[in-house]
Amino acid sequence: MSRVGRARVEGGGYEIVPMSAHDLLEVVEIEETTGLSRWGWDSYHAELVRPEAIMLVARRARADATGKFLKGFFAARLGADELHINNIGVRERERRKGIACELLRRGLLLGIERGAHAALLEVRAGNVAAQSLYASQGFEVVGRRRNYYHDPAEDALVMSKQLRAET
């Protein structure tokens, strides 16, 4: 396994580890409860076996009081030398604890290890939380795609970051 593919987050009570098929029910549940564009179980399952996919979860060693192991997840795909971030989501009760930041940081490191020179993503123009997260990690707005999203219709901001070895 990669040097940065598995990491315990000190004091956080969880590890960042590669997503497995066992995680998918919780990943889909998080997706459905966080307002993310729906991929669903089948799409995540198909994505998991793609060699160019980088998919991570923030997983507790033991289930919480509600029987859940996952705090959040990250899904990205490498294309040529660019890492495209598709989804990142954190359970509502686990937010503002640095979990998304940690998932993003590990995902970018894995991307760099595998040759990515830049990371790119689309985010809803009204999603201030996600834009702030990405900006805090050095992403900048580089474009806007009109009516990119449906249900509800909304523009996407395109954000990108050049990746360097010290990320």
Ligand X SMILES: CC(C)(COP(=O)(O)OP(=O)(O)OC[C@H]1O[C@@H](n2cnc3c(N)ncnc32)[C@H](O)[C@@H]1OP(=O)(O)O)[C@@H](O)C(=O)NCCC(=O)NCCS
* Residue closer to ligand X (CB basis): 1 or 77: 77
Nearest distance from C-beta of residue 145 to ligand X, angstroms: 13
DSSP letter assigned to residue 92: G
Rounded-to-integer distance, Cα 148 and Cα 4, Å:
33
Mapping DSSP to helix (H, G, I), strand (E, B) and coil, where does residue 56 land? Answer: strand
Nearest 5 degrees, angle CA 88-CA 127-CA 67? 40
Task: Please check whether residue 131 is in contact with residue 86, taking contact to mean a CB–CB distance below 8 angstroms.
Answer: no
Q: Assess 157 for contact with ligand X (CB under 6 A).
A: no
| Nearby residues of 64 by Cβ (< 8 Å), 6 or more positions away | none
Nearest distance from C-beta of residue 128 to ligand X, angstroms: 6
Nearest distance from C-beta of residue 105 to ligand X, angstroms: 9
Range 52-81, binding ligand X (CB under 6 A): none
Per-residue contact track with ligand X, 96 to 135, x per CB under 6 A? xxxxxx---------------------x---xxxx-xx--
Task: Please check whether residue 84 is in contact with residue 48, taking contact to mean a CB–CB distance below 8 angstroms.
Answer: no
Judged by CB under 6 A, which of 19, 75, 90, 119 binds ligand X? Answer: 90
Residues that bind ligand X (CB under 6 A): 34-36, 88-90, 95-101, 123, 127-130, 132-133, 136
